[in-house]
Chains A and B, each alone.
Chain A
């Protein structure tokens, strides 16, 4: 069964460093997302991406965050200057099409620990 894959599974970084989290969405999907889950808290929407541009973003997704689809398969989340409060599990996800009834499929997540 096709799945969303994410790398790395766990990354430890120093405060102020740049981090890039990588994702390979399901191959025929058109919408891509990043969500995050701070330990013990709910899953929060960060950003959605469609047709090579951001289609929606939350207030969490400020100027230190950026997303990119550098080629036909990868989808990346960059955090420019990490802060302690960025420590969380980051989930990449994808969905097949534009209809909002489409299921969003999540990857296994990337644990980011900022020290």
Chain B
């Protein structure tokens, strides 16, 4: 079975400050990890993914995420947050060894960036 935990329902950060959104995962085998963002009344937009290779992955809009196998984490980061980054962020995992291609999502973290 595969699962994702996002321990924070909401993260508040001042504009210009670093932003971190936490994610931990559980899979039987090795993971593929994804981050998606959902703006109000919109669909899920792909931000970045970890498949293999460098543990630090860079994605859209200046976001990056670090895969840490020993801590089973894949935290999303942005060095300097913008007000426009305010949205709902979802971490998702897929077990490489599991049959099928489905993603399992975390509960989401609402990010509020204040001017």
Contact = CB atoms under 8 A, between A and B. Distances in A.
Interface string B1-41: 00000000000000000000000000000001010100000
A109 interface: yes
B10 to A, nearest CB: 13
A103 B92 CA distance: 11
Interface string B78-115: 00000000000010101010111111111110000000
B2 to A, nearest CB: 10
Contacts of B34: 103-104
Interface in A63-115: 91, 93, 95, 98, 100-109
A25 to B, nearest CB: 13
Contacts, number: 63
Contact of A108 (B42, B46, B90): B42
Interface string A27-45: 0000101000000011111
Contacts of B52: 101
Interface string A1-18: 000100000000000000
A104 B108 CA distance: 17
B8 to A, nearest CB: 14
A38 to B, nearest CB: 12
A56 B43 contact: no
Contacts of B42: 108-109
A-B complex: 3 closest residue pairs judged by Cβ atoms? A56-B100, A106-B44, A108-B43
